[in-house]
Structure 1
Amino acid sequence: MLFIEELNLYANAKIAKWLATGFVIFFIFYHGFLHIYDGGDSCQRLLSDGRFQGSLVWQPYGCMIHSYSKIDTRRCMRYVAFLKESNTIAFVGDSRIRQLYHSFVDQK
């Protein structure tokens, strides 16, 4: 309890801004190093590091690609309806997102 009270004495907006700036600078250098190390080709890492999920589906590490069946989608929507909460689903993007929207709407 004493640690939290002491932390509150030193925590303020100025320190938070300095910490955030430090994190941004760290990640700039980190990604710059990765860019130099990989030769600027981030696709190489996506295509070489990963695993097969089965049925000849490649899952790159660091990339979250999910495939949902109609049963999974219905179960999710019914669960949200059971909790009596409303969800807003926004599809923002290009023609690929439009294809995802049409696939979502077609899952009746």
Structure 2
Amino acid sequence: MERTRIYTMSFSNIYGLYIQKVEKKGRTKNEVNEIIFWLTGYDRDSLQQQINNEVNLETFFKQAPHINPNVSLIKGVICGYRVEEIEDELMRQIRYLDKLIDELAKGKTMEKILRK
């Protein structure tokens, strides 16, 4: 199976882009972190360790403590694909994170983003 290029991208680079994107819209790094904690089960220290180790996206998601069981509530289109229809599990997880960050940048409340 051919590895998709996005899997090998550095999580720390993507993380920096997420921060830039939401800060332009008046949101915060702490909100991005809260989304990542909710989705992946990382905490502040373990997230920072992943950033410092410059892991790629594949490793970041494979080493995630646990993927939130409510991810099935994340619906919609991201990058031209319906997230709930993406068959590859890793790609679906990456797009879940993209979708949540997009919702944050678009001004949704954290309660709605975290599917509470």
Q: Answer 1 or 2: higher relative contact order, Cα 8 Å, separation at least 6.
A: 2
Determine if the TM-score, normalized by the shorter chain, exceeds 0.5: no
- Relative to the length of structure 1, the TM-score reads 0.22
TM-score normalised to the size of structure 2? Answer: 0.21
Rg (Cα) greater in structure: 1
Higher strand fraction (1 or 2):
1
